[in-house]
A and B are shown apart, each in its own frame.
Chain A
Amino acid sequence: MKKVLSVCAVLALALCCVFAQAVSEKSEEKTLTVYAYDTFCGDWGAAGAVIPAFEEATGIKVNLVDAGSSVEMINRVRIEGAKTECDVILGVSDDLASKAYDLLEPYKSSLVDTIRQDLIFDNEFRLTPYDWGTFAFCYDAKADIELPTSLMDLTKDQYKDKVVLIDPRTSSVGVGLLMWTYNVLGDGWVDWWKTMTENALTTSAKWSAAYGLFTEGEAPIVISYTTSPVYHVMWEDETRYQALTFDEGHEVTIEGVGIVKGTQHRAEAEAFIDFLLTGAQIELANANSMYPVNSAIELPAAYDYAPVPEKVFRNTDEEASALVKLWEEKIVK
């Protein structure tokens, strides 16, 4: 009897949860289906601000689908093929772009002129850039270190065990770092990595763990984004974490949005992309910790702590793949 009761209790609780959600969901009239990667979605992601604003501004309902990582998102549209309900795919960065091009139909928005020109990575506009970031080393101003001014500086003895790197094999930030060293140092990247694997505290698998080590004070320098200090200023009123810009240039990552081939909602999709380039720009900066592509946008004060580097490098994903392979051979094999 006790068992029956406990089973009933569990089931009742279960049903309550499910129906509470089902009721709140209602049966919305779905018009535009947007696939986005996981960190964009959810109440903590930029979606929490951007999507309701878009719905209000245009009256178009959005069905936002959390499709996992960017790669999973592209794979999913590919698997679904012609049957896909996806109208817009959001968050394909330039280093994955060529994996998605064949799934998309071009759309050259009338707003492309507002986009900073060197960020446009697809001249056919299958993917339109909406925000971007640059990789940079961040440091803890409360740690007693001399600030490095170049990548080569980091290989010095004084930074022994003071830097946390990220592995290019398991993280796009790692890939960014690798490309950066290649663009700045040319063939010297091999020696840089060889020295740094010894000099760095560790080479983490993921950005999350690397940045966690950094904020826990394990190392005063970490590879991250120039925009990383913004969160600490905005939400913690903390200015100790700052980004380093090197004159030799920085690697960028640009996030793009595209319309999926064969969509039934072309007009709504275009409206969505246009919105991303206008009304959403400031929200993207706030919630996504990225720079808006429209340089005219006035950024929140916290962005004073997110220096925009003068010189930036952009690459194709083919170059990146080849370089990761080389890295593997030279550094670990």
Chain B
Amino acid sequence: MKRRGDDFYLKQALLALVITTIVFFLPIGAVFLRAFSDGRAFVSTFTDRYTWKILGFTLWESTLSAAISVLLALPFAVFFSRYTFAGRKAILTMSDAAFALPSILAILGFVIYYGNNGLVNAALKAISGGRWTVKILYSFKAILLAHVYLNFPVAFSLITTSLSSMPDKEEQASRLLGASEIKTFFKVTLPKVWGMVLATFTLIFLFCFPSFLIVMTLGGNPRYFTIEAEIYKRTYTDVNPAASAALAIFSFLVMTLLLVITGYGREEKKVSRSRRVLKKTKGNSKIKAIVLSTLIFLFMAPPLLSILYRAFFTKDNEFTLKAWKSIVTKSRNGVSTSLNSILNSLFVAGTSAFLAMRMASSIAIGAVRRKSRFIPLLTSLPMAVGSVSLGLGFAFISARIPSRSIVLAYTMVLLAHIVCILPFAVRTIMPGAKRIPQRLGQAAKTMGKEDRDIYRKIEYPLLKAYRRRAFAFAFALSLGEVNATLALSEGKVTTLPILIYKMIDQYNYQGASALAVILLTIAIVVFAIGETKGDENGIS
């Protein structure tokens, strides 16, 4: 029983749906259609034991990676959502930034630190006089380590955001009743954040599912091969569009199924007026804060610092500014290529993240109010398509809409970025939207207010913490995005990560590291601004 006039949220979501349809559904549909041009390829994909074997492995590594990331993040998130202390924001900001790193540089940073000849092993050798070494990389464990490294920040910051915005009266009550901290966590806290935990798990799973550069390079064995790698192989090595489309559909179905399953979540009914006040650390908790911050720092920072180090030092530990010089010398029309790519990255990431965050807010609230799981699922589907298929889809567009004009090129890149990051923004905001009690909207309606007004004045402000997280997230994703930009701009829009890949193709790994330092700096500055812009929790 829905009344007329309730379609404000639908209108809000409409823009996102139109963009998603043009930039995603139509081209991907066309790409997928090829699967049916060769019936045998389609059937053999579903009946081949090899496909299922790869699927099994892909599911296994993604599930483990996501589960470990979330489990590891939980205790940290619980602490960081309870106490405030010097360096808290710095840690949160740093963990967000790692997310923007292109995976090739994450691998390099990793190797510099954890590699057989990396810093950890160098230190061990120095201590033991050359007797001790640990082989960390080139095994299944290394895949997990790298995935957890890249995704722990996602889990950590999302769950911290969610917990910080919930009152902790129940926890206090539980402690007063004599329950231990651990019991309180499992019986009281965990059930409260369960929705966010599940949403985070799904996100990370979906990040790990299509990963193959990391899986194959750090796994050290050709047996470690994922579905996305197989799609890549069928597309670029076999050049068999029908077979690659068939497998892409197969993978798409698996991911969509996961999206549907994890789309559930409870909705808040009552309005609670209490809120959480972050405590100052003292004594014991101060020590804990130092220990936990140090642990995160030791885990997150070294690979990033390794890249910083490599930007200034050669492999022989000689200081050099050559990489930086190589960055600034190339120029066209008096504008340095690097500066141009920095501006491009800032503009594309800033604009698309801002727009995606706005759209995601209305989609999330609208979906919760209308109890519709269809629209968030629809806008989430680009997440269920791996980058190879997405790239094919974009190539399909650029073959039809050649970006002769620079304005069109920018527009297409922006739209593509929005489509790629919107799912993550929606998934980040959704748990927040579910925490806004329906009663508030009803109360406002009894004061004669329309949906539009309620959304703007009441619901949107309440999402503040979640929106900020979604923006940071979307910004980082867009900042690191390469495929869509390459496919749609015909080389007219060069962003930082594209330049990084180009430099690597020209053997200039040091220059790439220098650009990565710039990229990380941008991310950190943007997130730091976000973190300092008031720490008020929206939903209470």
A binding-site residues for B, Cβ under 8 Å: 7, 10-11, 13-14, 17-18, 20-22, 24-25, 38-39, 41-45, 48, 64-69, 71-72, 75-76, 79-80, 85, 96, 99, 161, 167-170, 172, 175, 197, 201-206, 208-213, 215-218, 228, 231-232, 235-236, 238, 287, 289, 321, 324, 328, 331-333
Contact = CB atoms under 8 A, between A and B. Distances in A.
Interface stretch (B85-93, B168-176, B490-498): B490-498
Nearest to B236: A71
Interface stretch (B211-219, B254-262, B419-427, B520-528): B211-219
Interface residues of B, number: 81
11 contacts: A38-B491, A44-B503, A66-B490, A72-B391, A79-B399, A203-B220, A235-B326, A236-B322, A324-B238, A332-B225, A333-B50
Contacts of A10: 350-351, 354
B398 interface: yes
A215 B222 contact: no
A201 B220 contact: yes
B421 to A, nearest CB: 15
B72 interface: no
A235 B327 CA distance: 13
Contacts, number: 205
B151 to A, nearest CB: 19
Interface stretch (B157-165, B273-281, B379-387, B505-513): B505-513
Contacts of B494: 42
Interface string B13-27: 000000000000000
B42 to A, nearest CB: 18
B294 interface: no
B239 interface: yes
A25 B104 CA distance: 32
A332 B400 CA distance: 39
B220 A202 contact: yes
B410 interface: yes
B112 A216 contact: yes
B399 A65 contact: no
Contact of A66 (B330, B347, B486, B505): B486
Contacts of A212: 104, 107-108, 111, 504, 509
Contacts of A168: 237
Interface string B380-410: 0000000000011001101110100111001
Contacts of A80: 399
A194 to B, nearest CB: 10
Given A22-B406, A24-B335, A64 B491 contact: yes
Interface string B102-139: 00100110011001111000000000000000000110
A42 B502 contact: yes
Interface stretch (B182-190, B201-209, B227-235, B365-373): B227-235
Given A44-B330, A65-B402, A79-B399, A218 B116 contact: yes
User: Could you tell me the dominant secondary structure of chain B's interface residues?
Assistant: helix
Interface of B: 50, 104, 107-108, 111-112, 115-118, 137-138, 212-213, 215-223, 225, 229-230, 232-233, 235-239, 241, 314-315, 322, 326, 330-333, 335, 337, 343-344, 346-347, 350-351, 354, 391-392, 395-396, 398-400, 402, 405-407, 410, 486-487, 489-492, 494, 498-499, 501-509
Contacts of B112: 216
Contact of A205 (B216, B333, B487): B216
A168 B363 CA distance: 43
Contacts of A332: 222-223, 225
Given A203-B221, A205-B213, A18 B407 contact: yes
B446 to A, nearest CB: 27
A10 B350 CA distance: 7
Contact of B507 (A21, A201, A211): A211
B219 A202 contact: yes
A44 B111 contact: no
A197 B383 CA distance: 33
A296 B363 CA distance: 65
Contact of A39 (B402, B492, B502): B502
Given A76-B395, A209-B217, A17 B236 contact: no
Given A44-B330, A72-B487, A21 B492 contact: yes
B320 to A, nearest CB: 9
A216 B217 contact: no
Given A18-B410, A203-B221, A215-B315, 14 more contacts: A24-B332, A43-B337, A45-B506, A75-B241, A79-B400, A85-B402, A167-B216, A202-B219, A209-B107, A209-B213, A218-B137, A231-B508, A321-B238, A332-B222
Nearest to B337: A43
B350 A13 contact: yes
A170 B398 contact: no
Contacts of A11: 351
B396 A202 contact: no
A286 to B, nearest CB: 11
A7 B235 CA distance: 41
Nearest to B53: A333
A315 to B, nearest CB: 14
A67 B391 CA distance: 12
Nearest to B232: A170
Contacts of B332: 24, 43
B347 A170 contact: no
A231 B229 contact: no
A169 B507 CA distance: 22
Contact of B490 (A21, A67, A236, A328): A67
A201 B490 contact: no
B507 A231 contact: yes
Contacts of A238: 314
Contacts of A217: 115, 117, 315
Contacts of B241: 75
A170 B216 contact: yes
A33 to B, nearest CB: 9
Contacts of B111: 212-213, 216, 218
Given A66-B490, A212-B104, A24 B138 contact: no
Given A14-B347, A170-B233, A236-B322, A68 B354 contact: no
Nearest to A193: B222
A195 to B, nearest CB: 13
Contacts of B406: 18, 21-22, 25
A236 to B, nearest CB: 7
B506 A231 contact: yes
A235 B509 CA distance: 12
Nearest to B407: A18
A238 B320 CA distance: 13
A248 to B, nearest CB: 24
A230 B226 CA distance: 34
CB-CB nearest 8 A-B residue pairs = A66-B491, A205-B216, A231-B507, A202-B220, A169-B233, A204-B217, A79-B399, A24-B333
